[in-house]
Amino acid sequence: MSFQLESTDPGSAARTGRLTTAHGVIETPVFMPVGTQATVKAMAPHELRELGAQIILGNTYHLMLRPGLDIIERAGGLHRFMGWDGPILTDSGGFQVFSLAKLRRITPDGVEFQSHVDGAKMFLGPREAMAAQAALSSDIAMVFDECPPWPCDREYACRSVDLSLQWAALCRNQQKSKGQLVFGIVQGSVFLELRERCARELVALDFDGYAIGGVSVGEPEPEMMAQVDATVPHLPATKPRYVMGVGTPPQLLALVARGVDMFDCVLPTRGGRMGRVFTRHGPYSIRNAANREALVPLEDGCGCYACRHFTRAYVRHLVWCNEILGHRLVTTHNLYLYVNLLRQARAAVAAGEFEGFRREFVAHYTEGNDNDETV
């Protein structure tokens, strides 16, 4: 398994690369659709391939609960279980445990918590998380970490970094599935010197790649970008860099400009279920009255399946009637936008034109107005 840099942008830290995994090569920068429970919501695997997805995510915590690791392992691993033959990255469950703050107790060995499904007592630590990801046979496994909340004080963040580093060292030495890569996760909250320390100590452990975690947990965007700026210079240029759980299209391009290679975010699929359409000019609600008689695509000039075959008026009708197809079509469009925005960014970096591409995109992007939902 290897990561090979192919080109760099003369006007920024943006770069392109090729990450070789057991289930194929990933061209970076890349957007990874989120498939938490062994499915990208509303999408079949062949549809993801058709819109250009290279790699998808699964989640250790959720798959441990349902359907259970034994069933997935007997099926031949997560790829065969869900019918996806491309690369899969699995999150260790650390962020999900973070979200269960009222139902958990952190110990030096891991986290005791109650299942959000049935309240059953459970335990997840570095050994358990890595064993679970080995059973899933994902291409990229993430270390088990402790994600601090925002805001938190420096003392809490320091303890969190200490614990995450201890757990990362344990994860590094656990059994892996054949060809499985392991990424470390940099924590430190908004305390930049902690971010630097965490990055340096993780690099010394020599992981296959490095993620920047604990961002997009409520902090303002300038603080999020400052955390990335404090981390990237201390990560090796020869390894892939991954910002977890981010973000809007302009944020993705801003992070590409900072030298980040990999991204995931629930916004395109969550938006699809809410009727929120992402476009190159910003998001809008398909439920708005203005779309009731709009016999035009979801986005002019878009090449996705939804825009090639249907109108805003039709998709709005489906969403208002709560027809499943409406939510599927908006999700298809949103994922197409995200996946292909990163494809276009790759081409711009390779051509030495990324900063111009980014400035033009951001200049035309506005947040939109979703307030008018009159029938």
Question: Which domains does the chain possess?
Answer: 2-265 (3.20.20.105), 272-364 (no CATH)
Beta-ladder partners of 234? none
The number of residues in the chain equals: 375
Give the model's pLDDT for residue 15. 98
Contact 110/151 with Cβ under 8 angstroms? no
Percent of residues, the chain, with pLDDT higher than 90:
91
**How confident is the model over 37-53, as a mean pLDDT?**
98
Give the model's pLDDT for residue 94. 83
Contact 261/4 with Cβ under 8 angstroms? no
- Per-residue confidence band for 244, with pLDDT thresholds at 50, 70 and 90: very high
- Per-residue confidence band for 190, with pLDDT thresholds at 50, 70 and 90: very high
Give the model's pLDDT for residue 99. 76
What is the 3 state secondary structure string of the chain? CEEEEEEECCCCCCEEEEEEECCEEEEECEEECECCCCCCCCCCHHHHHHCCCCCEEEEHHHHHHCCCHHHHHHCCCHHHHHCCCCCEEEECCHHHHHHCHHHEEEECCEEEEECCCCCCEEEECHHHHHHHHHHHCCCEEECCCCCCCCCCCHHHHHHHHHHHHHHHHHHHCCCCCCCCEEEEEECCCCCHHHHHHHHHHHHHHCCCEEEECCCCCCCCHHHHHHHHHHHHHHCCCCCCEEECCCCCHHHHHHHHCCCCCEEECCHHHHHHHHCEECCCCCCEECCCHHHCCCCCCCCCCCCCHHHHHCCHHHHHHHHHCCCHHHHHHHHHHHHHHHHHHHHHHHHHHHCCCHHHHHHHHHHHCCCCCCCCCCC
- Per-residue confidence band for 374, with pLDDT thresholds at 50, 70 and 90: low
Give the model's pLDDT for residue 369. 59
pLDDT at 158 exceeding the cut of 70: yes
**How confident is the model over 217-234, as a mean pLDDT?**
97
Nearest partner of 189 among 235, 233, 223, 144, judged by Cα: 223
Question: Which of these is catalytic: 91, 145, 208, 261?
Answer: 91
pLDDT at 159 exceeding the cut of 90: yes
Residue 264 among the catalytic residues: yes
Neighbours of 101 (CB within 10 A): 10
Higher pLDDT, 101 or 271: 271
Considering only the C-alpha atoms of the chain, give the largest distance between any 2 of them, rounded to a whole number of Å.
60
**How confident is the model over 238-254, as a mean pLDDT?**
97
Give the model's pLDDT for residue 372. 65
pLDDT at 254 exceeding the cut of 90: yes
Give the model's pLDDT for residue 71. 98
Give the model's pLDDT for residue 101. 75
Give the model's pLDDT for residue 1. 64
Residue 9 among the catalytic residues: no
- Per-residue confidence band for 104, with pLDDT thresholds at 50, 70 and 90: confident
Give the model's pLDDT for residue 114. 86
Question: Which of these is catalytic: 139, 145, 261, 264?
Answer: 264
